[in-house]
A and B are shown apart, each in its own frame.
Chain A
Amino acid sequence: DVILTQSPLSLPVTLGQPASISCRSGQSPVSSDGHTYLNWFHQRPGQSPRRLIYKVSNRDSGVPDRFSGSGSGTDFTLKISRVEAEDVGIYYCMQGTHWPYTFGQGTKLEIK
């Protein structure tokens, strides 16, 4: 199985400040078709996860442009340029290249 390791696991951030979450993969999530199916999800309390970023760096429809994804090989990053109150919750990276799909442990973002 592909192990995804996120850091930090807890992320207190002041409103308006940037935030960054790292996701390291135990093996390359590059598919045989050349794509890297590394996604980022956000889950608010009591809600289902919502995908924010797909294939490393592509924002889903309706996702604010303050969110960006980057990375290659086995190191990936989610960045929020200026944190807003609605960004609180848990962020997960996920790889959909290899079965079983695997998720990182989750990073809890809270407002200081």
Chain B
Amino acid sequence: EAQLVESGGGLVQPGRSLRLSCVGSGLTFSNYAVHWVRQAPGKGLEWVSGIYWAGGGTGYADSVKGRFTMSRDKAKNSVYLQMNSLRPEDTALYYCGYDLTPGGLESWGQGTQVTVSS
């Protein structure tokens, strides 16, 4: 079964760093974009960042710009989210999502929990 598998979440102190990973299992990233979307406890969905698989161009939400960096490894069929200078408000379940078609965000992983607390 094709799925996205996230990993790398955990409990981290404010100001520290964390690196999330997302691998396509049975699903090969090809065209279009892969994204990170987060959901704070009891809140709605917030797009965090995206990367165009083919060219590697990236985009970020204003709330994370300058602190988070998204990258990809084509050989490993994986994307990453390097999160620096973490804040308590970054606490959320982080989902990896994939555009099988433009603007589609059809495929989602199960999420990895990030908790920023002292």
Residues of A participating in the B interface, judged by any CB pair closer than 8 Å: 31, 33, 35, 37, 39, 41, 43, 48-51, 54, 60, 90, 92, 94-97, 99-106
Contact = CB atoms under 8 A, between A and B. Distances in A.
B44 A96 contact: no
- Interface of B, helix, strand, loop or mixed by DSSP: loop
Nearest to A103: B45
B109 interface: yes
Given A37-B103, A39-B103, A54-B104, A102 B47 contact: yes
Interface in B67-82: none
Contact of A51 (B44, B102, B105, B110): B105
A33 B101 CA distance: 13
A51 B45 contact: no
Given A48-B95, A100-B61, A101-B35, A106 B105 contact: no
A48 B105 contact: no
Chain B interface size, as a band, is 20 to 34
Given A48-B108, A48-B110, A97 B47 contact: no
Nearest to B58: A99
Contacts, number: 63
Contact of A100 (B59, B103, B105): B59
Contact of A99 (B37, B50, B106): B50
Nearest to B93: A48
Contacts of B47: 100-103
A35 B103 CA distance: 10
Contacts of B35: 101
A99 B105 CA distance: 13
A31 to B, nearest CB: 7
Nearest to B50: A99
Contact of B44 (A39, A48, A103): A103
B111 A48 contact: yes
B50 A92 contact: no
B78 to A, nearest CB: 19
A48 B93 CA distance: 10
Given A39-B104, A101-B103, 12 more contacts: A48-B108, A48-B109, A51-B106, A54-B106, A60-B106, A92-B44, A96-B102, A96-B104, A100-B59, A100-B61, A103-B44, A106-B44
